[in-house]
A and B are shown apart, each in its own frame.
Chain A
Amino acid sequence: MKKIIGAASGLAMIASWAFAEPQGTFRQAHEVGSGSGSSLDPISKGRVFQVTEKIMSRLVRPDMEGRPSPDLAVKWSANADATEWTMELRSGVTFHDGTTFDAEDVVYSLERVLDPEMDSPARSAISMITNVEAIDESTVKLTLGSSFADLPLLLMDYRLRMIPEGSGDMIATTGIGTGPFKLERFDAEGTTKLVANMDYYEGAPAVAEMEIIGITDGQARLQALLGGQIDMERGITSQQRVMLEGSDKFNVQTIPTGNWRGLIFRTDVAPFSDVRVRQAMRMVADRQAMVDLVMGGGAVVACDTPVGPRDQYRAELDCPQDIEGAKALLAEAGFADGLDVDLYVATLEPTWPVLAEVYQKQAAAAGIRVNIKQVPSDGYWSEVWMQKDAVTTRWNERPADQALNEIYLSTAKWNESYYKDKAFDALLSQARSELDFDKRRDLYAQAQAHLLQTAGTLIPYHVTRLVGTTARVSNLDEVENNSVRWHLVSVD
């Protein structure tokens, strides 16, 4: 009986909610990372993703567990060797300007990403696609240069959003898409206004308006949240969390992510070209201590794998601190008296200097003398990272295959540790073409275990994201931006 009542009231809730008019304004801030170069072109460097994620849709999007689920594509299938993918598109979807969404728009949007002239940062994510073809109005065929069993995972990339055919030149300002919200006014450094798209294919949004406000200073963003001027701030620090948790005016969501921070020892220069030295450099780390000291407990330990804790391909690895083992390896490699390392650090990522100092203390136990060199944040990516022998790095979450391929493959554009390993490359290409899920997972796990043996990159943890909201916000999915269903969010 209870069950029936529960179900009935649940239904009633859903019904009242489905017929409710959108109401209220949801406000959030963004950091204006690209300054006046900000744009609404989802594949440009200056895209303001806090806006594009609400006004444009992808073919495939992550569900609450991060697995591919239908968005503008409702079904997909591959041929036997996963070189041809057929995507069946949702019908009856219209863009904000009233035009109908069809296969030609998909062809246009994807070809635009692949166009070498555009040189989009998103290109490398789907570079294995060699041809995009419209079979009929609601079917698209993607042809790949090599077998790739997890194409849908890559199509979930937050940049791969569908725009109307031929709109490339204007999209940066018009922002026309098929998302739950429509652009009313775009002002990256001021307030961008979005209004509910009543024709959204999953139902009208719960809020009538969204405001995405540019606030560059992190402290100012927190104060705006505390003062109730914005409703959500993603990425508050563990120190700031204390301020919010004590009050019933705010809620804090804790979301494990695949974002990582790390230390890189270039594998192509001495002494790190010796794999034993690289192993030792990583064995001295007490990762749990790093999580506690650097992140205030807000992170999940990683064993030098870039694959996030919630990724289906994450390998189960074990990597306790081993000072004696490290000493032995160093002695074997000819550094019985220890060695000196210059580690370059900037405040670009506020946790880097702390991480470096903790590492310095831990490494000292094995005779590794880390000399921390503080360099300016300006020009860090162009003059320090991938230039100096030992540096700090940070990356945002990406699917397992992308993380391993873009950063560790011999030929990768962002091979930041100059890691070249034939066995690893072979494992990856095998995994990509393996159609059986369990076997594929096994291959990716082997690749990660191989990294733990040989890599030059120390990845001690994946960051847990803290999202602060005001108490008036409800139905905000407790997942990363990439998966949030924004049309469900409501405010009192």
Chain B
Amino acid sequence: MLAMLFRRLGLGAITVWLVSVIIFLGVEMLPGDACTAFLEREAKGKLLENCREDLGLNRPALMRYTEWAKGAVQGDLGVSAKGQKPISELVGYRLRNTLLLASGAILAGIPLALFLGVVSALWRDRPVDIVVSTLAIFAMTIPEFVSATLLILVFSVWLGWVPGIVLTPANAPLVEFFPEVLLPITVLTLVMTAHILRTVRSSVIEALASDYAQMARLKGVPYWQMVFRHVLPNALLPAINVIALTIAWLLGGVVVIETVFNYPGLGRMMIDSISDRDLPVTQAIALIIATVYVGVNLAADILTLLANPRLRTMHIRKG
């Protein structure tokens, strides 16, 4: 188990490194650089030269990458190309804001999804299941920028209950994000609930039809006891992976939602830094997102192992 953990950690580190190389190459391949992006049509002559000199852009790409990587390994993410501010400071607040958004959606969405998923599976093909499943399909398939715009129209323009756009600066205390953060959380909750509840529903239905559930019922175990003791613990295992993926998606900065709501999180910062060709910031964010993905998936696998006795003892029995 421990050996597996180390192997997975090693693989994770390699993944993160590969991501940083790919991002670097990707941004390098885009037309223009930080200076042409900033100067636009004034990007010529001395102004351009000075700018490239200031940002060290006239050195070879490989040299810039190794320098950046050396710093990153030592925990120094470098300085933002344009603002000349330490990146850790810039990214820190954005990461915190994205965490706020994500945890709001997770706290609201996961219990809701589990509850609705189980309910619609137990009352399969009954009115409650039909309503929940139909709504879920809608929530999944309507693009989030459309549902976001609709919610803004209804709740902030027509009803005037909550502000439509987030105007709080990135480094404001967390409390100041209320109530502005409620609408983006609602949209995220809609999307993720739909995804998770559909997985939960199908795996509960599968478990209900399984041999052990049939056996329990034949033995005369009361229906609800069978559901809680035998069906749910088995059915919810596959949900762990879907939940992990969703959490990783949320923590990675939900670009579209953050842009529509003007939310100062990681996703919007990523977009801005790419259009500014601000390579150090782009790299730092990519690194964070990659680490989150690797970490959350690893955690999900470990959880699954712990929850499933057969997988947990497989190595021991073999040995």
Contacts and interface: CB of A to CB of B under 8 A. Distances in A.
Interface of A: 34-37, 45-46, 119, 121, 187, 189-191, 213, 215-217, 219-220, 223-224, 226-229, 376, 378-379, 381-383, 385, 414
Contact of B43 (A34, A216, A382): A382
A478 to B, nearest CB: 25
Interface stretch (B78-86, B208-216, B246-254): B78-86
22 contacts: A34-B38, A35-B38, A36-B80, A36-B82, A45-B39, A45-B42, A46-B38, A119-B45, A190-B172, A216-B262, A216-B272, A220-B259, A223-B164, A223-B165, A224-B167, A227-B165, A229-B165, A382-B36, A383-B31, A383-B32, A385-B41, A414-B41
Interface centre among A36, A217, A220 (most CB of B within 10 A): A36
A37 B90 CA distance: 14
Interface centre among B90, B149, B163, B167 (most CB of A within 10 A): B167
Interface string B39-51: 1111111110010
Contacts of A191: 167, 169
Contacts of A45: 38-39, 42, 47
A378 B30 contact: yes
Nearest to B169: A190
Nearest to B31: A379
A45 B35 CA distance: 11
B261 interface: yes
Contacts of B82: 35-37
Q: Interface residue tally of chain B, by bracket?
A: 35 or more
Contact of B262 (A37, A187, A215): A215
Given A35-B82, A224-B164, A219 B260 contact: yes
A interface SS class: loop
A227 B43 contact: no
B164 A217 contact: no
B170 to A, nearest CB: 6
Interface centre among A190, A219, A223 (most CB of B within 10 A): A223
B37 interface: yes
B88 interface: no
Interface of B: 30-32, 36-47, 50, 80, 82-83, 85, 90, 149, 152-153, 156-157, 160, 163-165, 167-172, 259-262, 264, 268, 272, 275-278
B83 A36 contact: yes
A382 B262 contact: no
Given A121-B42, A382-B32, A213 B167 contact: yes
Given A220-B262, A226-B164, A379 B30 contact: yes
A227 B156 CA distance: 6
Contact of A378 (B32, B41, B163): B32
B164 A37 contact: no
Contacts of A217: 259-260, 262
Given A220-B261, A379-B32, A36 B39 contact: no
A226 B160 CA distance: 10
Contacts of A382: 31-32, 36, 43-44
B17 to A, nearest CB: 26
Nearest to A394: B41
A214 to B, nearest CB: 9
Contacts of B47: 45, 119, 121
Contacts of B45: 119
Contacts of A414: 41
Contacts of B40: 381
Nearest to B274: A378
B262 A190 contact: no
Contact of A35 (B32, B43, B276): B276
Contacts of B43: 381-382
B32 A224 contact: no
Contacts of B167: 191, 213, 215, 224, 229
Nearest to B180: A229
